[in-house]
Amino acid sequence: MLRTHKQKVAILYADTGGGHRSAAQAIAQGIQLAYPDLYDVTFVNNFRDWPFPFCYAEDIYPPMVNHARLVYQAAFRASNHQSVTTMVRRLYEPLSEKLAAEMLLQFPADLYISVHPLYNQVLPTAIIQSGSRAKYVSVVTDLVSGHSQWFNGHVHRYIVPTHVAFDQAVQYGIPGDRIRIAGQPVWPDFQKRLRLGGQTRESLGLDPDIPVALLVGGGDGMGRLQSLAKTIATSKLRLQLIVVCGRNLQALQVLDSVKPKIPALRVFGFVNNIPELMGASDFLITKAGPGTICEGFIAGLPIILYDAIPGQEEGNVTLVETHGAGFYCKTTSSVLHQLSNWLNDPTALNSARRASASMGQPNAAIDIAILCVETIRS
């Protein structure tokens, strides 16, 4: 029996927040579903090998966005220019050239898929300089407010989630024929797993006749998740609350000790059943992370955004509000007010549900996988 040679795909990500890893996993699942057993997929995260300060990016990111917002905002906006990105790239060239060459040797592949902008600064040029025939695709995971570091003219193909992101790529000099719009990569089985929401609700001991709100803060449980959860749990709302604290162990410990006044409170740490929890819920309360927002769209949940990282997530707020899928509530009291409005106004609630569902793209990961593989074959 002849053995079919599997082509190698390396998906490049970093744990600066949980969204990049989730996007990488969704794309890998999409490749496996679209092309069963044809590609050998490897996940690559070697940020620890990068030069200073990038080697500390994963450690710095959570405390920066949680406790030094003004500093993060200033840094994001000051660096979000093509001229600055080019200057930084040239400044680090002596170090990055060696790093990129080592990456190509350590992780040889026929196709590199980047879901993090910093890889785009070193790998595409290195591939050309090495004479490799490997292709490089960048899957942009920012819905609206992408950073200039995403964009490098040596990338073979860009796959972006929205028309706004397409226009931004063109603005940064990427030819339109090298850009495809395919949505945000979400696990391909997400929609199927939503249907298990009824069973999940029952297993959690939740009342089927009382609405359920799901409160999440990304993989790291960022923003005001702890204080907001405590306030909702001790409010007079006729509402059941599920809280996912992610890796925020402090929030998990504090909320575990809360004595709720609402009908039910369920608190979890890091979980792998977000689709089932969304299927069990009637509302989504979240920071403005692109992955969770797009999951909420697929679930058709009305969305309350309680926090947004300056710069990179601000555009996501506009996207949700412009399409009528939800609201940005800057204060805890405004979150309670909006929940109360929806609970008492079924017409407004159903309108937000329809708007949210209209934005859902459950097949995006498979579409992205196909576009990536097409790049190898072109």
Same domain, 180 and 290: no
Bridge partners for 10 per DSSP: 42, 112
Kindly report, residue by residue over 13-37, the tens digit of the pLDDT: 988 766 888 999 999 999 999 999 8
Kindly report, residue by residue over 100-118, the tens digit of the pLDDT: 888 888 899 999 999 998 8
Mean pLDDT of all residues in the chain?
89
Name the region of 39 (left: φ>0; alpha: ψ -120 to 50; beta: rest). beta
Burial of 317 (0-12, 13-18, 19+ CB in 10 A): buried
Same domain, 178 and 207: no
Residue 308 domain flag: yes
Find the domain containing 162 and state its range.
7-187+363-377
Amino acid identity of 67?
Answer: H
Same domain, 175 and 207: no
Residue 285 domain flag: yes
CB 219 within 8 A of CB 17: yes
Strands 157-160 and 135-139 turn out to be parallel
Same domain, 27 and 155: yes
CB 145 within 8 A of CB 314: yes
CB 243 within 8 A of CB 229: yes
Residue 24 domain flag: yes
Same domain, 77 and 164: yes
pLDDT score of 59: 65
Q: Rounded to an integer, what distance in angstroms lies between the CA atom of residue 303 and that of residue 320? A: 8
Specify the 3-state DSSP secondary structure of 369. Answer: helix
Same domain, 45 and 168: yes
CB 101 within 8 A of CB 95: no
Nearest residue to 112 (alpha-carbon basis) of 132, 129, 96, 90: 132
Same domain, 150 and 230: no
Residue 200 domain flag: yes
Could you give phi then psi for residue 303, rounded to 5 degrees?
-120, 130
Q: What total number of domains does the chain contain?
A: 2
Same domain, 75 and 219: no
CB 264 within 8 A of CB 206: yes
Mean pLDDT, to the nearest integer, of 136-163?
92
Residue 158 domain flag: yes
What is the side-by-side order of every strand in the sheet holding 303-307?
A: 264-268, 240-244, 212-216, 283-287, 303-307, 326-328
Q: Rounded to an integer, what distance in angstroms lies between the CA atom of residue 156 and that of residue 183? A: 19
Name the region of 17 (left: φ>0; alpha: ψ -120 to 50; beta: rest). left
pLDDT score of 281: 97
pLDDT band at 6 (very low <50, low <70, confident <90, very high): confident
Mean pLDDT, to the nearest integer, of 282-310?
94
Residue 1 domain flag: no
pLDDT score of 78: 72
Beta strand residue intervals within the chain, DSSP E: 7-12, 39-44, 111-114, 135-139, 157-160, 179-181, 212-216, 240-244, 264-268, 283-287, 303-307, 326-328
Residue 2 domain flag: no
Residue 237 domain flag: yes
Same domain, 138 and 263: no
CATH number for the domain spanning 275: value is 3.40.50.2000
Same domain, 180 and 216: no
Same domain, 200 and 169: no
